[in-house]
Amino acid sequence: DNDVLLERQQQRESNARSYPRRLPLALVRGHGIYVEDSRGQLYIDALAAAGTLALGHHHPDIQEAIRQTLGSGIPMQTLDLTTPVKDEFIERLFALLPAGLQSNSRVQFCSPCGADAVEAAIKLAKTATGRHNVIAFAGAYHGMTQGTLSLMGNLGPKRHLGTTVPGVQFLPYPHARRCPYGLGAAGVQASLNQLESMLTDPESGVLTPAAIIVEAVQGEAGALPADLEWLRGLRRLTRQHGIALILDEVQAGMGRTGQIFAFQHAGIEPDMIVLSKAIGGGLPLALMVYHQDWDTWQPGAHAGTFRGNQLAMATGQVVMNWLHHNQLHLHAGQMGERLLTRLRQIHSPIIGEVRGRGLMIGVEIVDPEQPQDALGNHPLDGQRARQIQREALTLGLITEVGGRHGSTVRLLPPLIINETEVDAMADILSEAILRAGN
Ligand code: PMP
């Protein structure tokens, strides 16, 4: 039963387990947006494998794609050799790209995790520019390999590793409520001015970077949407200085924010796009798409055994078809708006902010008993956020916590969620917040 499974996991799995610490669950079934544990308890799954399951659990189209692919006799793993399944996958992918990238892009399949695709993008930017340093942002999450940890804007997981990959410079990620440059348009402009002076003034002491890597909505940092003008500014400055602009769309891409890619809200086109999670339809897949002008790699420059998973390419196509034919991203945008509106109606002194874009939503929890800072914010309260997560779990909703000190309760439900389910989610979270707030 549940307790035995959890006990055995506790004994035999590494201490680096993360989710089970706060979600004591042994799952036996999944269906749509729901999962069921071994005690028969149902939960709305607003974690959805960290936003991977765009179509929820066991979507009939995904099941059908798996059955058909298995039945076709296609080799299951093909390294990077061509197959009709892969050809079709690339066709679908390119049709989803913004206009300027559709006819002049290349795709690099990667080892099937987001981190490896980020590694590929950084390596390509370095190779193409002959430069070695990179700019990343406070709060950024790009993976857990040593290379991607070097880009992580959070010391936690890398504090004890010594030097990871050198040459990474961090800048603040300007955010509407906590921007060190000041709030609103003035803060955004100040942030861009600082970047510009770093790139143009020799006395800044900063070498021109090979790449700037950014999430258009920071995920692990607590569902922080980037200012769109700021993203446009990054695009302008990177173009002026021949720097690769890499958009990490691992979490925010594939429809989650209401556009197919989260950078499309800003109307920009990056040089490189990193994709994983939802692009595999629930099976492991990762890739990097880049403008062909950057294609300076020698054959074999980014190899990896598991780049040819035909089942993942087949299930990934299902998600892309849902975006292409059914405009799933627009539905996600509407459901996200509804959810944000509902959550903003919760009145509780422990809510610092409700924010997000599309179905990438965070509720930031603060301690109202502690004094406000100069910007009028109470201090963040990770302990209370985790209490809300526990309460929500008891009420039948699985959430994620993230952000600074784990103070943001995050929702990343499947994109197929409907209005009734959105309302149920908001009701549960509301109740959990009220319980934790007393
Ligand atoms: N980039 C972003 C934006 C992510 O959210 C994540 C995973 N949370 C990664 C990269 C790393 O992906 P993976 O865990 O598959 O290596």
Residue range 125-147, pLDDT digits in tens? 999 999 999 999 999 999 999 99
Residue type, 241: H
Ligand 1 centroid, distance to 73 Cα (angstroms): 32
Q: Residue 427: inside a domain, yes or no?
A: no
- Per-residue model confidence as pLDDT tens digits over 264-290: 999 999 999 999 999 999 999 999 999
pLDDT at 413 (0 to 100): 98
Contacts of 67 (CB under 8 A, 6+ apart): none
Q: Residue 162: inside a domain, yes or no?
A: yes
Sign of CA dihedral 145, 151, 154, 158: positive
Residue 251 Cβ < 6 Å to ligand 1: yes
The stretch 183-187 carries a mean pLDDT of 86
Residue 113 Cβ < 6 Å to ligand 1: yes
Residue reference for tokens 């991977």: 52
- Per-residue model confidence as pLDDT tens digits over 40-84: 999 999 999 999 999 999 999 999 999 999 999 999 999 999 999
Contacts of 422 (CB under 8 A, 6+ apart): 335, 338, 339, 342
Beta strand residue intervals within 199-350, DSSP E: 211-214, 217-218, 224-225, 244-248, 272-275, 287-291
The domain in which residue 190 lies consists of 62-326
172: confidence class by pLDDT, cuts 50, 70, 90: very high
pLDDT at 160 (0 to 100): 94
| 180-186-188 Cα angle (round to 5) | 65
Q: Residue 29: inside a domain, yes or no?
A: no
88: confidence class by pLDDT, cuts 50, 70, 90: very high
pLDDT at 372 (0 to 100): 93
pLDDT at 374 (0 to 100): 83
Ligand 1 centroid, distance to 202 Cα (angstroms): 34
d(CA 437, CA 71): 54
Q: Residue 155: inside a domain, yes or no?
A: yes
The stretch 334-354 carries a mean pLDDT of 97
Domain count along the chain: 1
Lowest mean pLDDT among 158-167, 314-323, 407-416: 158-167
| 351-422-283 Cα angle (round to 5) | 105
pLDDT at 328 (0 to 100): 98
Contacts of 74 (CB under 8 A, 6+ apart): 83, 84, 85, 310
Spatial CA neighbour of 389 closest among 79, 110, 134, 20:
20
The stretch 188-216 carries a mean pLDDT of 95
Task: Write the residue with the smallest CA distance to atom 5 of ligand 1.
Answer: 251
Residue 319 has pLDDT above 90, yes or no: yes
pTM confidence score: 0.98
Residue 238 Cβ < 6 Å to ligand 1: no
Residue type, 2: N
Contacts of 242 (CB under 8 A, 6+ apart): 129, 208
Residue 2 has pLDDT above 90, yes or no: no
pLDDT at 17 (0 to 100): 87
Residue 151 Cβ < 6 Å to ligand 1: no
Residue 176 has pLDDT above 80, yes or no: no
- Per-residue model confidence as pLDDT tens digits over 296-311: 999 999 999 999 999 9
Residue 388 Cβ < 6 Å to ligand 1: no
CB 302 within 8 A of CB 123: yes
Residue 194 has pLDDT above 90, yes or no: yes
The average confidence (pLDDT) of the chain is 96
d(CA 322, CA 390): 33
CA neighbours closer than 13 Å in the CB half-sphere of residue 275? 30
pLDDT at 260 (0 to 100): 98
Ligand 1 centroid, distance to 85 Cα (angstroms): 25
Q: Residue 387: inside a domain, yes or no?
A: no
Mutate to test the pocket of ligand 1, among 122, 141, 272, 287 (most ligand atoms within 8 A of CB): 141
Lowest mean pLDDT among 3-7, 39-43, 238-242: 3-7
Task: Write the residue with the smallest CA distance to atom 7 of ligand 1.
Answer: 143
pLDDT at 351 (0 to 100): 97
- Per-residue model confidence as pLDDT tens digits over 12-45: 999 888 888 889 999 999 999 999 999 999 999 9
pLDDT at 202 (0 to 100): 92
Q: What is the CATH number of the domain that holds 189?
A: 3.40.640.10
The stretch 341-362 carries a mean pLDDT of 97
Mutate to test the pocket of ligand 1, among 110, 224, 251, 285 (most ligand atoms within 8 A of CB): 251
Q: Residue 96: inside a domain, yes or no?
A: yes
Q: Residue 262: inside a domain, yes or no?
A: yes
Contacts of 225 (CB under 8 A, 6+ apart): 216, 217, 257, 355, 356, 357, 360
174: confidence class by pLDDT, cuts 50, 70, 90: confident
ipTM surpasses 0.95? yes
Q: Residue 19: inside a domain, yes or no?
A: no
pLDDT at 301 (0 to 100): 96
